[in-house]
Amino acid sequence: MTFLNDSAPAMIPIIVLAMLLPLQAAADAIGTNRDAAMLEHYSPFQELLTRHLKEKDLDHDGLVTAFDYAAALAKEDTPALLKEQHAILAAFDPDTLETREEAVAFWLNAYNYFMIAYILENPRRGELVSSVRDYGHIFNPYRVFSQDHFDIGGRKYSLDEMEKGILLGDDYKERGWKEARVHFAVNCASVGCPPLRQDIYLPSTLDAVLTENTRRALNTPRHLHLDGTTLRLTSLFDWYEEDYVEENGSVRDFIKAYADERILEKLERATRIRFIDYDWDLNKPENFPEFTTER
């Protein structure tokens, strides 16, 4: 005796779908939990961004952002938010980060938080610094990036270690976690940097936001513009050319992978590449014409 009939083949996809739905629901729940954990790890930082990070949309989907340090310093509870965020990170074990999305999001948030926190907590002669280079000296103006100031899990890290040693380091490369879009996600608190965003990086949206931030930066003249037949690019493409070549074969091919049609047309018309001088002025609103000039 058989229980199969002519309708059995049509029922098989329904049965398979019924089996897969619980698995998808479980995956969605795990993703939601990972996002919730990230928000918990960075709740004070998210509050600072919500209050003081300004975003401005430009023509052709470009984007500039600025952090209002003066407003943050004027808020009475800013020191408490910084203290709380420091404590959370000092107690967190980064070895518990299991997936690429969790790990990359965590370290991007760590870099961006500690950069802002250091500026807020370390004025010079009682005044906000005009540039992160103010923390250096004539022989090493970029010293702030190499000093082990920042406590995560009871160990002190430097900003360079977070970016170059971890996110772009050999271990992540071996795991397949290294990628050049990181250069358009870490923010060194300078006008020349890619945009810092109002929302922290979350595991579930990591790739979408990395792609969006890269594309929108490329649509911003500060990072890419065509001067006649000369393509002028952010110095990030000069300093970290090896990462773009490793991932896409060339700087041009990296741009092709993430740029929109308008930028691709500029790329086709360009006969040579030159790099834009990096603007190390602090990324406060007053240093961006987009925030100070009425359009």
Domain definitions of the chain by residue range: 12-222+279-292
Segment among 27-36, 162-171, 225-234 with least mean pLDDT = 27-36
At residue 25, the pLDDT reads: 53
Phi-psi category of residue 2: left, alpha or beta, with phi > 0 → left and psi -120 to 50 → alpha: beta
| pLDDT beyond 80 at 21 | no
The alpha helices in 176-284, defined as continuous H runs, are 206-218, 236-239, 241-248, 251-258, 261-269
DSSP collapsed to 3 states, 248-275:
HCCHHHHHHHHCCHHHHHHHHHCCEEEE
| pLDDT beyond 60 at 5 | no
At residue 32, the pLDDT reads: 84
| Order of strands across the sheet that contains 224-227 | 224-227, 230-234, 272-276
d(CA 122, CA 141): 16
List CB contacts of 126: < 8 A, sequence separation 6 or more. none
d(CA 286, CA 96): 40
Length of the chain, in residues? 295
| pLDDT beyond 80 at 15 | no
Stretch 132-158: mean pLDDT: 97
Dump the DSSP string for 83-126.
HHHHHHHHT--GGG--SHHHHHHHHHHHHHHHHHHHHHH--BTT
**What are the C-alpha distances in Å from 67 to residues 72, 282, 288?**
9, 9, 11
| pLDDT beyond 90 at 218 | yes
- CA torsion angle 208 210 213 215 (round to 10): -80
The confidence band for 4, taking pLDDT boundaries of 50, 70 and 90, is: very low
d(CA 145, CA 141): 10
Amino acid at 121: E
The pLDDT tens digits of the residues spanning 189-198 come to 999 999 999 9
d(CA 251, CA 265): 16
Query: Which of 10, 50, 61 shows the shortest CA–CA distance to 259?
Result: 61
The confidence band for 149, taking pLDDT boundaries of 50, 70 and 90, is: very high
Stretch 134-148: mean pLDDT: 96
Segment among 4-18, 75-89, 217-231 with least mean pLDDT = 4-18
List CB contacts of 262: < 8 A, sequence separation 6 or more. 60, 219
Burial 22-32 (b: 16+ CB within 10 A, else e): eeeeeeeeebe
Q: What is the mean pLDDT of the chain?
A: 93
What predicted TM-score, i.e. pTM, was given to this entire model?
Answer: 0.89
| pLDDT beyond 60 at 153 | yes
Query: Which of 37, 54, 43, 136 shows the shortest CA–CA distance to 84?
Result: 43
Dump the DSSP string for 126-176.
TB--SBGGGGSBTTBTTGGGTS--EEETTEEE-HHIIIIIIITSHHHHHHT
N-term to C-term CA, the chain: 80
